Structure 1
Amino acid sequence: MGLSEGFWHHEYWLPPGATWEDMKESADVHYPQPQNLLLCIPGALLLIIVRCIFERTVALPLGRRLGVSDKRRPKVQPNATLEGFYVLLSRTPKKGDLVSLAKQSDLPVRKVETWFRHRRAQDRPGLMKKFCEASWRFTFYFTSFFSALGLLYDKPWFWDHTVCWLKYPQQPLPSALDWFYLLELSFYCSLVATLPFDVKRKDFKEQIIHHIATITLIFVSYCANLIRFGMIVMLVHDASDYILELAKMLHYMKWERVCEAVFIVFAVVFIISRLVIFPLTTYYYFVTKFQLFLLSCLINTFLMVLQLLHIFWSYLIIQMIFSVILHGAKRKDARSDTEESERSEAEDLAKS
């Protein structure tokens, strides 16, 4: 048995008793074709191009019209010694480094500290960049959620999850769901590709874990024809994302009262969809109705990873509501001068 044949062996991908022959295509019946997933590469590139055009031609003018503007930040005086340390060694030098740099630059230690603080401020993303990114994600998540809702509302298995498993894996794949799956995979691949260039948040590592888990689940569920289950999972996850991005946009526009109201709506939808609906209905039926085999164990693992992230983010969201909205704590979008690299985006409505 060759490497490719071993990888695609039906015992790994399908429940006991099922083979790839059960998913053989005909003129009238279409099943998932794993090679189609390669289209996610050009799909991701296309989405990145569309995003760049959207941010420049739609989000940027919209942000200006709505009063979004970047704060003026002091420019640092050119200094080759300090700049070299900043770029090559550290953005936040320790006390000993500050003393050494002060001697090398013939400057007081306090001025060196100020130089690094202002230099970090220059590299911080402005409100307009954040607004443009949030606008793009809001547009995609909003379109994705309501498109999925439109595709699923008339499906019996959407309302009764036990129907998801009837006659599995012999469940023909409608072309609309096929293209939707490919679009979702392309989008998350584009997010991974642009992570180094997007606004970096404190939960950067959690975001990478989330994207890897999501991409893996989309890939394996497509190959194993778990499209019905996958569509429901994606819909549940998309239910709150566009509300969060709207709250961010309102925050950058400084419409704080409206922002707080939208954020509370987001918190309610997030907690209900991800801590109630997802584990107690969607995931419950997968565990109880699906036979245990290699792929189901892998899916279980990644679903548990997502659930742990849901709990982590729910804690931050609840903490945000109590500390900022209910107790009236001061919210900051731009991070403080001294701790800008350490502040969590939970404090500026950026958790998802």
Structure 2
Amino acid sequence: MLTWLRELSDWVWQDRLWFPPGLGWADLKDRDGLVFAKGSDLWVIFPIAICFLIIRQIFERTVSVKLASLLRVREKPRVRAASNTTLELYFCNASKFPSQVQRWFRRRRNQELPSQIKKFQEASWRFTFYLLAFIAGLGALIDKPWFYDMEEMWNGFPTLPLLPSQYWYYMIELGFYISLLFSVATDVKRKDFKEQIVHHVATILLISFSWLVNYIRAGTLIMLVHDASDYLLESAKMFNYAGWRKTCNYIFILFAAVFILTRLVILPFWIIHTTWVYPLTIYPPFFGFYFFNGLLFVLQCLHVFWAVLILRMAIKFLPGNDIVEDERSDREETDSDEAEEDHEKTKNGFVQNGNGHTALNNNHHHSKTN
């Protein structure tokens, strides 16, 4: 069994798959005082991810709470559904969206939604990390030649020595994304939940692969481009949860501009162009070249998907639309929604009796709608 696994590993990591002809893993061995990226380095991301989870819990229970109080984040009043064993069993085991007994189920569904404080805590944690990561990434790259001339990212490939700033930038970013996967079960669920999972997995694979085959210069540029707009989105959410509508709107406009510039212009037309087109002028194509650019293509498709959501949200900035909601979030339902539904029920022939009762179905007891 071990022999078979060793043979499989040797085949997967053979030089000709991941490097241009004449180059390979032997070129990435430390020598002459130069240090190169190694696969074994990636084990450190797991304790870093655990540290992030611990720091996040402390941050959300201390800094986030105080910041929420400072910005006067308030919970929206929610009317709890009256205790009803029959409806509770139906809610938990059958359906949360029955065709009848609308008010009780609406209030019960609202009880399942995350609070404003929880959403603010998550947004403030991500804002803090993305802002610090962007500042750190900019500091690590601002004096590098490939920051200004992206073709320099291939100068000397793959024997590109590892810098301490690159090491920590990579490990911290990877540790953070691993921590997001660990916490996904308890985080606020949004409509693009599946896309977020795909994004996190693709990002982890992309960063890890770029580390293994020493695409580090390209990797740091890609991470910086992503961090450039993320902190703006999270800050817009924070002010939205706090009820600072105009501030949220202004920040969101700035975020939309930065997102489109970095994700739909700089990334595809500068960085991906340099990773897809320019290398072919130096080396013949190889599997690692296609694999790396394939992961970038997946990320770019997700960027287009999110750009559509951003444009939909931007429409709400038109005159008369002064409330901005996260298009990815479930909207809290209110009892005022019931008037419209009751009108539709009347049109469609739904019947309620004079005591305010309605049948869940023919096999259930009658229950009060409120």
Q: Name the residue aligned to 1:295.
A: 288
Matched, 1:88 2:98: no
Structure with the bigger percentage of helix: 1
Greater mean alpha carbon deviation, residues 137-146 or residues 302-311? 302-311
Preserved contact between residue 245 and residue 324 of structure 2 (Cα < 8 Å):
no
Q: What letter is aligned with 2:66?
A: P
What is the DSSP-based 3-state SS (H/G/I as helix, E as strand, rest coil) of the residue aligned with 2:62? helix
Measure, in 1, the Cα distance between the counterparts of 2:19 and 2:7: 19
Residue equivalent to 2:168: 179
The CA distance in 1 between the partners of 2:104 and 2:324, in whole Å, is 22
Which residue type is aligned with residue 88 of structure 2? Answer: E
Distance 1:247 1:186 in 2: 25
- Superposed, 1:31-180 pairs within 5 Å as 31-93=36-98, 95=99, 98=100, 112-180=101-169
Q: Map 1:245-260; keep pairs closer than 5 Å.
A: 245-260=234-249
The alpha-carbon deviation at position 23 of structure 1 amounts to: 0.9
Does residue 328 (structure 1) correspond to residue 320 (structure 2)? The answer is yes
Displacement of 1:229 after TM fit? 0.3
TM-score relative to the length of structure 2: 0.83
- What amino acid is aligned across from residue 82 of structure 1 in structure 2? L
Partners of 2:117 and 2:81 lie apart in 1 by 22
Query: 83-92 or 26-35, which moves further after superposition?
Result: 83-92
1:285 aligns with 2:274: yes
Q: Structure 1 residue 33: deviation in Å? A: 1.1
Q: Is 1:190 equivalent to 2:176 in the alignment? A: no
Q: Is the 8 A contact 2:240 2:324 kept in 1?
A: no
2:333 alignment counterpart = 337
In structure 2, stretches of 5+ residues that fail to align are 1-5, 336-370
Distance 1:55 1:27 in 2: 46
Shift of residue 27 of structure 1?
Answer: 6.0
CA positional deviation for 1:184: 0.6
Aligned to 1:200: 189
Post-superposition shift, 1:82?
Answer: 2.1
Partner in structure 2 of residue 307 of structure 1: 300
Does the aligned pair in 1 maintain the 2:110–2:332 contact within 8 Å? no
Structure 1 residue 39, shift from structure 2 partner: 1.7
Cα offset, 1:330, TM superposition: 5.2
Unaligned runs of 5+ in 1: 99-111, 340-352
For structure 1, which segment, 232-241 or 286-295, has the greater mean C-alpha deviation from structure 2 after superposition?
Answer: 286-295
Q: TM-score, normalised by structure 1?
A: 0.87
Deviations 1:57-114 (A, max 9, x none): 1001210121101112112223333222222333223x3xx5xxxxxxxxxxxxx322
CA distance in 2, matches of 1:274, 1:55: 29
Deviation at 1:332, TM superposition (A): 5.8
Q: May I ask how many residue pairs the two structures share in their alignment?
A: 322
Asked if 1:226 is matched to 2:215, the reply is yes
Distance 1:232 1:15 in 2: 22
CA distance in 2, matches of 1:87, 1:336: 19
Q: 2:18 aligns with which of 13, 17, 20?
A: 13
- Give the residue type in structure 2 aligned to 1:233: I
How far is the alpha carbon of 1:274 from its aligned partner? 0.8
The CA RMSD measured in Å over matched residues stands at 1.7
